[in-house]
């Protein structure tokens, strides 16, 4: 489902100092959500999800509260911007950013791309190559006695399109418009969600050989290390 980079990123995060790399990204997601829909999680589903994901990564409560407060601050100029890019070997990328300086952000992205045989392309160019999906992940060992078959059947009525099991993690996919419905279905079953978000899933994923992956990772790692970058989605398997 195009999560090859996510796996490599997960491995990399084990080496990261979460306080200096991951936590600021989580805080930005909370600030953006609060800015878009208000500071009350009960009335703002996007904020509720951002807080859930932050807690799953052990972001301290004080950091969460501070991120929410920044959304209403006079100095808050944070905005969400999506860029599209074309890299080597037929790899396409959608790059989600949270920035207070779009000029800086695009300049940095163009610099990374230029150094690694890639280029920023006009937004909308990749629309037919990706589908926007609501994606939830659950711990397979924490299903309250529900079998995976029954789980799939129960959630179909709440918009579930497909389910994938990898190791001990269950991934649930739905159209992005069904995000709230699927969340309600999981709540009805009293299941704890490990993470939930909207992702761009490639419609025709491609594979690369090991040498190509190593070369591409130089670009992906550089982009991912940028403080303004929240998520990267590719058309890789």
The answer to whether 70 and 29 have CB atoms below 8 angstroms apart is: no
| Domain ranges for the chain | 4-71, 79-124+204-234, 129-202
Could you tell me the fold of the domain covering 79-124+204-234? Alpha-Beta Plaits (3.30.70)
Q: What is the pLDDT of residues 120-143, one digit of tens each?
A: 999 999 989 999 999 999 999 889
3-state secondary structure of 126: coil
pLDDT confidence of residue 111: 98
- Could you tell me the fold of the domain covering 4-71? Arc Repressor Mutant, subunit A (1.10.10)
Mean pLDDT of the chain: 89
Q: What is the CATH topology of the domain spanning 129-202?
A: Alpha-Beta Plaits (3.30.70)
**Span 110-119, mean pLDDT?**
97
Assess whether the region 4-71 and the region 129-202 belong to the same CATH fold.
no
| pLDDT at residue number 114 | 97
For the segment 166-199, what is each residue's pLDDT rounded down to a tens digit?
989 999 999 999 998 998 999 999 998 888 888 9
Q: Can you spell out the DSSP letters for 36-94? A: HH-S-TTT-HHHHHHHHHHHHTT--HHHHHHHHHHHTSTT---EEEEEEEE-GGG-EEE
């Amino acid at each position: 489902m195009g999560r090859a980079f996510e796996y490599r990123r997960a491995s990399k995060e084990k080496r990261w100092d979460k306080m200096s790399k991951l936590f600021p990204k989580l805080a930005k997601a909370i600030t953006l959500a609060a800015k878009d829909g208000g500071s009350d999680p009960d009335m703002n589903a996007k904020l509720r999800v951002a807080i859930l994901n932050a807690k799953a990564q052990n972001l301290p409560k004080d950091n969460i509260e501070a991120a929410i407060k920044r959304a209403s601050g006079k100095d808050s100029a944070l905005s969400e911007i999506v860029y599209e890019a074309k890299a080597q070997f037929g790899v396409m990328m959608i790059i989600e950013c949270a920035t207070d300086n779009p000029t800086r952000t695009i300049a940095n992205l163009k610099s990374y791309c230029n150094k690694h045989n890639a280029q920023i392309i006009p937004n909308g160019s990749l629309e037919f190559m990706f589908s926007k999906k609501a994606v939830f992940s659950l711990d397979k060992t924490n299903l309250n006695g529900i079998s995976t078959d029954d789980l799939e059947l129960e959630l179909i009525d709440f918009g579930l399109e497909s389910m994938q099991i990898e190791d001990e993690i269950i991934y649930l996919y739905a159209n992005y418009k069904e995000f709230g419905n699927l969340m309600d279905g999981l709540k009805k079953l009293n299941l704890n969600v490990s993470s939930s978000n909207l992702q761009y899933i490639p419609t025709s994923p491609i594979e690369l050989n090991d040498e190509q992956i190593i070369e591409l990772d130089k670009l992906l790692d550089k982009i991912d290390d940028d403080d303004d970058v929240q998520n990267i989605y590719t058309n890789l398997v």
